[in-house]
Structure 1
Amino acid sequence: MKNTLRFKRFIKSLLALLVFAQAGVYAQPAIQWDKTIGGMAAEQLSDMQQTSDGGYIIGGTSDSPAGGDKSQGSKGGKDFWVVKLSANGTKEWDKTFGGSGTDELTSVRQTADGGYILGGNSNSPVSGNKSAGRKGTEYYNEDYWVVKIDANGTKQWDRSYGGSESQGLKVVRQTSDGGYILGGASTSNKSGDKSEDNHGQSENEDLWIVKIASNGNIEWDRTIGSITPNESLTSLNIASDGGYLLGGWETYDGVEGSYEIKKLAIDGTLLWEDTIGPDNNIAWLSEFQETPDGGYILGGSSSARAGGDQSENADGADYWIVKLNAAREVEWDKIIATLDLPPVENGQGAYSEDLTSIVQTPDGGYLVGGYSESKAGGDKTETTRGQDDFWIVKVSSTGAILWDKTIGGNGNDILRVMLKTTDGGIMIGGTTAVPYADPSPENAPSDRTEAINGRSDYWIVKLAPEQPTLPQAPIRINAGGPAFTTATKKLFIADKYYAGIDRVSSIATGDIPNTSNDILYQSARCSPAFSYNIPVPNGEFSVYLHFAETYFGAPGKKGGKGSRQFHVNMESIRKLTNYDIFAKAGGAMLATAETFTVNVTDGMLNIDFLTGAADLPRVSAIEVLPSPQRTLTFTPVADAFVREEKYANQNFGSDPLLSAKSRGQVGQVRQAYLRFAIPGITNVKSAKLRLYGNNHEADTSVDVNAVPVDDDSWTENGITWNNAPTMGRFMGSHVFVNETLKYWEIDVTQYVAAQAVGDQIVSLGILANRRFLMNFHSKENPSGFVPQLVIVTDNTTNQVTRLGNESEEAFESNTALSSVIYPNPAKEHIMLEVSSGHKSDVDLELTNMAGSRFQLQRPETEANTSRLKVGLPGQLPAGMYLLKVQSKEFSEVLKVLVTE
C-alpha cells in the first residue's frame, strides 16, 4: 500500500523558513590560546590588527611604570602603549609614547611601509616624547595626537591637531594616497587647525574629520553636525569608492539617540546621511561597514522597545544589528538579548549587553562581539563567569543566530575589538581587570590562563577556525517540498542548500507508478538555472537524482518526448546532457532515477541544473550517500621552507619550491613545513603525504623524513629559521628520493590519525639527511603538482541517517527503526513518532551544538499512538539541537532545527 502520509499543513511555514534553513550550522570555535599583557598598574586595550608577518599589533592606554610586560616607564599620567606580538602571541617589543599629562590611544594600524600609525587624544604640553604642544586654551583641553613609528616601534614623527576647546579622536586609517584620515569629534569653533565653526550650541560636539598627508600636514578638514544634539563618532571606514563611511549617534541632554550614518566623498564633501533607530531613540552605534552586496551592516546596542526601524523589544541594553540594502533601506534587524531581570535591591535594573565590534565572515554571515554581565538565558547559552565577560555571537547572512560563546574570568572583561585571522580563526582583544567584588562561588572556571599583572591588563584570546557541523550522511533532500519520511523510514529533509532562481513546481495529487512515495515526486525544484551546494566531508559519494515528468504529457497537458531537455553538472563536470525525463522514464507521471559517483575535495558538493534544448531543468529529490571506504585528498593551507645562518630571518612562504637539505656548507641547511586542515575526518585507515619533486643535485637516493610539528601557530608568510616551531621526534615516516621528478609518498598514518581525533590540524616538517638539495613543489607552484595529504577512511560502521549507533543495514531492515520528528524546522513544539524499537518508556534530552542542556516540557501522548507532542522551552535560541531518545532497549539522537 502506498505511503500517503503528507504534512501539507507544514508546507507554507517550511517554505517561509527556507532562507533560514539554508544557513550553515557552525560549531562554537575552541580557544587555542590567550595572553594577558600588562604592567604593574592599569592598562586598557583600544585597538588591534593582524600584521603582514602573521603577528599582531595591539594598542591602548597605560599608567604603569616599567615592570611586568612593560619595558618603559610612564611619561606622565596615562600614555599610549603599543605592543608587537608574534603569530603565537609572544611579545616582540613594546613602546610607550606620552607627555606629562594624559595621553590615551584609541586607534592603531599598520602602514604600507611596514610601520604603524597611532592615534588618540592628549592634553600634554611638549614633554616626554611629545613634540607638539596643546592647542586648547585650558590645561584640560585635549587634541588629536597622531604618532608615526617604524616597523621596530621607533618614532618617526608626531603631530597634534585641534582648536581652542577639546577634541576627541576615535579612528585613524591610512588612505590609498599614503596619507591618513582622522575621525572624531570637537567642541571647538574655527580656531587652531579647525577651519569651520561648530554647527551646534556652545560646548556641543560636532564630528571633525581631518585628512592629512603622509608627513602629517593637514590637507583638509570638515566639521559635520546639527544645531541641537551632540554628535559622537564611533566608526570610520574607507568605502569601496575611496570615500568615507562615518557612524555614530546623537545625544540629546545626555541620552543616546539613534544610529547616525553618513557618507563623505574622497574630498570630504557630505554625500548623504541617514538616521536608523527605534521610535524612542535609545540606541548607540559601534560599527558601520559596507557589505559585498553594496549594502551596509550596522552594529550597536539598544534599550528601546520595538518601534521605528527596530522590530523587536530590547530590555536593559541588548545587541542590535541592522542590515541595509544599497538604497539604505532596512532588509532585516535583530535584537540579540539575554533574559531580562526585575530591578534588584541596590536599584540597578536589567542586565546589559554592549556590542563593540562586528566582523563580516567569508560565508556571508557576521560575528558580533561585546561584553555582557548576564547569566544564561534568551540568546545567551552560557553564564557570565565574573562581572562582565566577552560575549561573541555568530549570525547568518539573514540574522539567524548560529552560535554564541562567553569568554571571561572572575573579574571584569571588556571586549573592544575582533578580527578574522589569516588562518580562518578569530582574534579577540579587550581589557581584563581584577574583580571589583568577591566572585560568586557558582562562577565557572576562568578562561584566562595567566594572572593579571596589576589592576587591569590587555587580554587577547585566539579562537580556532569555525568548523561547519556537517550534515550526517546519507543526506536526502525533497527538492521543492517539505520533510518527508518514506515507507522504509528514509527521511528526506525539506528543500535546502539550493541557490539560483527560486522557483518550485508541484501538483496536488497524482499517482506515480514505480514508487511507493508519491509525495516525493509531486514537488520539484524547477527554474531556468539553479544549483545545490551541499556541505559534506571531502571524499567519494554516490549521488542519486530522482525525477518524474508531471507536466509534459501528464493528464490534461500537451507535450511528451523532447519537451523538456536540460543539463546537469556535478563538481563542474557534465553528467547529463539534454536529459529528457519523459524519454528516460517511458512517459509522464513515472518515477526514474540516475546515479553518479562524485569526488568532493573542497567540502561542498556542487550540483548545477542548467537549461538545455527545451524548457526548464527539474529535479524531484536528491540523495547523497558516502562510500564505506573513502579516499580524501587535501592540499596544504600553508607551506614554506626555512634556511639557516644569513637567511635565518628571511621568509620563503611564497616560493614555488619547498627545499630540504642537511649537513651541507654553512648557510645551506634547509627544512620545510606543511600544514593541512582535516575537518570532520574520522576512522583514518591510512594517510600518505605526497610530495612532487626530486634530488636536485645528484642521482643519489636521499632519505627524506616527515616529522610531527605540534605547534600549528606558524604562518606561511611569517615563518623563518629563527621563529620556526620545533620539529618532533622521527616517527619512522620516510622515503628515499632520487633524481626522478615525480610524486614521492611518505606514510604518516599514525600522526594523522592522532590529529584527526585532536585539533584536526596536521603540521609536518620535512628533513633530508644528506647534503644534497631536495626540491619539492609548493602549493604556489604553477605546475599544479602541489603537495597532497591523501587519507583513506573506513566508515563502514558510520553510515547512519542519525547520530545513533545502528548501522545503515540494521536501520533499513527495521530491526530498530529511527524515531521521526516533525515539523522540522520547529518553533514551539515537535511531534515525535517513537520508533517501534523502543519497547519501554523513553527519556528525552535536548542539547545545543555547544553541549548546553535544555529542560523539555512534559510530553503529551496522543491516544492509541506512539506519537508524543513535546513542547520546546520558551525563548529557546534559534539553531541546531540534538534530541536524545533513550529507552532500556537503545538510544538514538535526532537533529532538530529550531527557528524563531
Structure 2
Amino acid sequence: MHLHLSAHNPLPKNCFHRTFLKYLKPYMIFILAAFFTGNLLAQPAVEWDKLQTLSENFGPYVRVACPTADGGLLVGLYPQSNVGSNYFIVKLDSKGNKEWEKTYGGNKEDELQSVIPTSDGGYLIGGQSDSDASGDKTDSAYSISTDYWIIKITADGTKQWDKTYGGTGTDNLATAIQTSDGGYLIGGLSSSPANGIKSENSYGEFDYWVIKLDANGNKQWDKTLGGSLRDRVSSLIQAPDGGFIVAGESDSEIGGNKTADSKGSYDYWIVKLSASGTKLWDKTYGGRYFDRDPIITRTEDNGFLLAGISSSEVEGDKTAPVFGDYDVWVVKINSEGEKLWDKSYGGSDFDLIKSIQPTSDGGYLIGGIGGTSLSDPHTDPELQGYGFWAVKIDASGSKIWDRNIGGGIVELAGAFPTSDGGYFLTGHALTDNVEGGKTEYGQGIWTVKLLSESNDRKLTFSPGALDFTLPNMPADSSRIANLSASTGSPDISLRKSAAKWPDLPSPALGSLAFHVNTEGFAPGRYISVISATAPGYARALLKVNLTVNEVTNPPVLSPIGNKLLQPGEILKFTADATAGFGQTKIFSLVNAPAGAAIDASTGAFSWNTPWESGTYQFNVRVSIAGFPNLYDEETITVILKLTDPADVPAIRINAGGDDFTTADGRVFQADAFFNGRRTSFVGQVDILNTPDDDLYRNTRSDDSFSYDIPVQTGVYKVTLHFAEIYWGVFPNRPAIDIRRKFNVEAEGQIKLDNYSILRKAGAPLTAVTETFEVDVRDGFLSLYFRKNADRASVAAIEVEFIKPLVELSTKPVADAYIRFGSSSQTNFGLEQTIDLKANTNADYDRAAYMKFSLAGLSSINSARIRIYGRNYEGSKTVQVGLTGIDNDNWTETGITASNAPTGTSVFLGKFNSMRKARFYEIDITDFAKSQLAQDKTLTLILADMFAANNRVIFNSRENAVNPPELIVTTTEPVISSARMAESETADDAEKETESSIIYPNPVKDRFTIRVGSRHQNAIGLSLVSETGNMIPIGTPEGLHAGSVSDIDISRFRLPAGIYLLHVQSASNSETLKVLLAN
C-alpha cells in the first residue's frame, strides 16, 4: 500500500492493497532476520492497540486501508470466500473505534481492491465485479467475466454514484488515485480486446489498462500498455509535470509498448504517460528471478521510489543482497526513470510489502508482513509467528529502525504516519488470544498506534505480572501493582482484555489494587492483560494469571473390574482416574492383602499372589491431596483358582475350511485367527490314514502365514494336521519329498524345521499329525509358517491346555559395579546405578555384577533379565554383553575389581544401549535352569563389548525406579510359604507403565488405550471376539510407548460380551480383556 503526500494536498493521494495469500504459496511461517542497516535509532514504542470486532458475515480479512481527514482510518475488507462477496468498508476514529460500517454489492461476486480519500472529504472505493445491474450496482456487466467497478461515497459512507468499465474479457482493478484536476486515474489488468469501453486491443495475455476519469466518473481516455505475456498494474502516481507514472510487474519480452526485454521471471515495469495518456517512455528493472508488485512514491528531489518484493540474487539491476525467499526491494529513480540506487530489507525466509509512505523528516515508512525466530537479532521477543512489520528508512535508503508487532495470524493492510509524529499500523488479527502486543481477546480489525521514535516517555507496571491461585468456591483475593510514569503526571486510562475480571481500580499512578472473585469461574487457567495508557506515553502492560482449582467435586475412578488368576501369579494393573483442574490424585489401598502395593501418584498396582487358592477383597481408592474427603473407590474381588485342564475347552481350527465335526465328535471351527491370503483344496478324493477326509481336503497354503490364537497363560499341547494334496496328485507334479518344505515356529521357537509332509506321510493324500508343547505368556498362541520350498501348508490345528504357567519377578539380592586402575580396591555396591565402561585407561574401566536368588523354585520354564538404563556420555550406541558366571562368592558391600569372582562363564546375549533410557531384556533360560539345579543362585556380569569409551548406566536395586528384575515362568508352586526371597511387593511408577491400559471398561461405542512402555514402536492392535473372529479396528498412525489413542468401535455394531485386545509390537505383546456392554 502506498499513500503519496504532495505539497499541495496533505492527505494521501492513494492507498491500495497487497494480497498476502497470493504470495504465501507453500509458506506459512515468516522469519524476520537482520536487515541491511544504516544508523539505527530506537524503535518507536506502542502507545495503544485496539481490536474492533466485526459484525457477522462481515469481512473478516482486511485488504486495504487509508488515513482519513479527521485522523482516523478507512478500512476495506474481503470475505473468506468470494462466493457472494461484497465491498465491506469500516470507518475507524483516531482511537481505533468503529464509527460506521457499510456493505456495497450486486447480485454476484464483488471484490474490493482499493480505497482512497477524496478532496471533498469522501472516498472512492473500487475493485472488480461480475455482478449485473442490481443492488448498489447501476450498470450491467460488459461480459461474463469481471469488470472494473468504482463507487464514490461521502464521508459517512453514503453512496453518491458508481461506474462500471470493461470489455469482453477479464478486467481487474488494482488501484486508483485522485488527480490534480479533481478527477481520477484507475488501473489494473485486462485481457479484453477493443470493445465495450476499452478503446485499444490487448498485446498479450494480460496488459496494463489505465482509465482517466473526470470528477463524476466519466471516461476521458484509456490506455492499454503491455508486451506479449503478462503485465499487471500495481501502483499509480501523478508526476510534478501533470503526467502519470504507471508501475507494475511484467514478464513480457520486447513487444507492444514494452521496449526492454525481461530480466527475469517477473520485473518491475514502469511507464511514463503524458497528462493526455500518450506514452513518453518505459523502464524495466529486475534481477534473474521474481521482482514483483512495486509501489511508487514521490521523493523530495522529484524522483521516485519503487518498493516491491524480490527473490533475485545480485544480478542485473539488483545490487542489494538477498536475505530470504522474498525481500522488500526498493529502487530509487530520477524523473526520467534512470536508476540511482537500490536497497533490500528482509529476513531469512519471506517478507511482503503492503505500503510505503513519505514521513515529515524526509524519510519513508514501509509497512509489510514479516515474522521472527529466536535467532533474529532485530525483532521483538513478544512476536511469535508473523505479524505487522514497519521499517523506517532515510532518504538514501538506510534503515533507521524496524518494528514487529503481533503474533499468531495477523496481516498488515498499511502503515501510516500520524499528525503527532507517530504511526498507525492496521490490518486484521485472526487469533483469539492476547499475544504479541495484542491486548484484547477476539478477532477483527486490529490497529496499533506507535509513538514517535524520539518520544521516550513511558508508563511502567511493577511487578509486570500478578498471579492468583484460588479455589472454585467463591473466593476473593487482591494483589498490588505499582504504576509509574517516566516523567510528568499524565491522565491514566486502564483497560482489561477479559470482560469479567479482574476488577479494575480507579485509574491513577501509584499503588493499584487488582481484585479477583472466582464466583462463576469453572476450574482452569485464565489470563487477562491490563493495559495502562496515557496520551503521548508508551503503554504499560500488566499480565494477570488466574488459576482456579477444583475443590468441590471428587475424582472419578475408572472401572478396574474383578480379577481371576492362577495361584502364585503376579497381579498388575494401573488404576486411572479423572480429576478436576488443579487436583492432585493420590491412589491408595484399603484392606489390602499382604504384599499388595499401589503407587500413590501413578496408580501402578502389583501383588505377588499366594500359591493357595482363595478369594480376596480390597478397595482401590483415589483421593485428592489436601482434601481427603474428596475420593472415589472400587471394591476389587480377586479369585485365585488353579485352572483344571478339564475346564479349559480345546481350540480346534479347520485351516482353510468351514466348520467340521470329526467322526469321534471333535468340533473344528471354520478357519479363524489367521493372517494370510491363500488356501488350497482338492476335490472328492480319498485321504488315507483318517476317517475325516474333508478335514484334509482344504488347507491354508502360502509362502508365509500366521495364526494368533487367543488363550490364557499356560502350557499347551499343539497338534498340527497335514496331508499333501498337490504334489503327487496333479499331472506333472511328482511326489518328491523335497518339493514342499517349510518351517513352523511357535512363540518364536522353531518346532518343525525344514518339514516335508511327503517325507513324514510316505505318500500324497495321507493324513499325518505333529504334536509339541509350547508355553504361552501373553494371551495369544502365535504360530508362524514359512516356506523353504513351494508353499507352507497346514490342514487343521488343535490347541489343548495342559497346565497353568505362572510368572514371577524378583530383584537382585546384590548388585554392584567395579572400577579398575586406581579404584580397584574401592567398593561401589550401594550406588543408585550400576555402571560400565571400556577404555584404554584402566582408571575409567567399569563392569557390573548382579546376583539373584532362585530359592523356593522347583522348576523354571523360562527366565529373562530386564534392566533399565542408557548411554550416559554420548549419543552413539554401546554394545553391552551379558555373561553368566559359575561363582556366586561375592557380596554387595565387599566386591571390588581386585576380588571380583572368576570361574566358568557362558555368554548369554547382547544389546545396544541407546542415549535415551529404556528397558532391555535378555533370555537366560538355560543358564537359570543350570543354576537352579546347582546352588539356586545365579551371578550375571554386564560389560561393554567393544571399548566404546562411553559410560553406560543402569538402575541398581537401590534405585526406587526400575531396578533390575529376573522374570521367571514356572508351572510349579514355590516350595515354601516364603516367596522368592527378594521379590518386591511394590514396583515403581515408570516400570508399571509398561503395561497398556484401556478405559473405560466396560466399553460401549469407544474406548481409550494408553500404550505401555514395554512397546517401543511398530505397534499393531487387533480385537478378537469370544468366537475367535478378528474385528478390523485399525491401528492409529504413529502409535508408540506412552501414546494415548481413542478407538471407535461403534461402526461394527458388536454384541455385548468379552473381547480380547491384542497389542503387538516389535519388542513385546500383551492381551487386554475388553468387556463390551449393551
TM (norm. structure 1) is 0.45
